[in-house]
Amino acid sequence: MQKEHLIDFDRKNRIGIPETIFCLDKDVIQIRNIFNDLDKSKTNFFTRLSTEKYSNLPKYIQKKLKYDNISRTAIYGKIPTTKKNFNIAIICAGTSDMPAVTEAQQTLISSGEYSKLFADVGVAGLWRIQKHLTEIKKYKIIIVAAGMDGALVSVLGGLISQPIIAVPTSTGYGVSNNGKTALNAMLASCSPGITLVNIDNGYGAATAAIRILNAI
């Protein structure tokens, strides 16, 4: 009987991003079986691994995973060394955006990339982002996470020249519609050159940043 999963052992060499296991629709047995086939000498990354599923994994697996419960991610095997640099900054409108933000941070860690976080700088108080602009401009790539109306992306797009990767988040009331309003607002932004990933997709934003850095 053929296995229901095939590990991509050469992903890092081929595209510069470690093998990643999306756990949302996998059960504990499937995750366990995949884990057992992974190469521990390489970096392996798990996303959308809920605390419930993590707690139900065998203890020997739990002990070997570097698990982060906020982002619901885990690293197994080789953990790259990260050095502080001015490559990537992550900016979020509010602390409610932290699940997507930390998913991006942990994804970058799995590729050995440091990121500086500027949190809670939404447009409700423009002075908060203004006081960080000089430092933000030192970074090569900017990831911006925002929910509700997603306005922070347009504001930054008019203030800085660096590539901006926008992450609409599902934060907000009523017509925010679980991130769809922020998604549409970012797509319709009058700030030119904004790159956009899917709702709450911190992983996608981080891997896009890694691809840009690899190209540089």
Question: Which one, of 170, 174, 127, lies nearest residue 150 by Cα?
Answer: 170
Separation of alpha carbons 162 and 18, rounded Å: 25
Given this model, what pLDDT does residue 3 score?
59
Read off the amino acid at residue 88: I
In the chain, domain spans: 18-77, 83-215
Task: Quickly state the pLDDT bin for 2 (edges 50, 70, 90).
Answer: very low
* CA angle at 103 for the pair 97 and 104, rounded to the nearest 5°: 90
Q: Region 17-25: what's the mean pLDDT?
A: 93
Q: Region 70-84: what's the mean pLDDT?
A: 92
Q: Mean of the per-residue pLDDT values for the chain?
A: 92
Question: Which one, of 76, 99, 87, lies nearest residue 19 by Cα?
Answer: 76
Given this model, what pLDDT does residue 1 score?
44
Q: Region 31-45: what's the mean pLDDT?
A: 93
Given this model, what pLDDT does residue 153 score?
95
CATH 3.40.980.10 applies to domain 83-215 = no
Task: Quickly state the pLDDT bin for 133 (edges 50, 70, 90).
Answer: very high
Q: What is the per-residue pLDDT across 144-189, written as a single tens digit (0 to 9) for each?
A: 999 999 899 999 999 999 999 999 999 999 999 999 999 999 999 9
Which residue stretches of 70-201 are H helix?
A: 98-110, 126-130, 133-136, 151-157, 180-187
The single-letter DSSP state of residue 174 is G
Contact 87, 78 (CB under 8 A): no
Residue with tokens 């081929």: 14
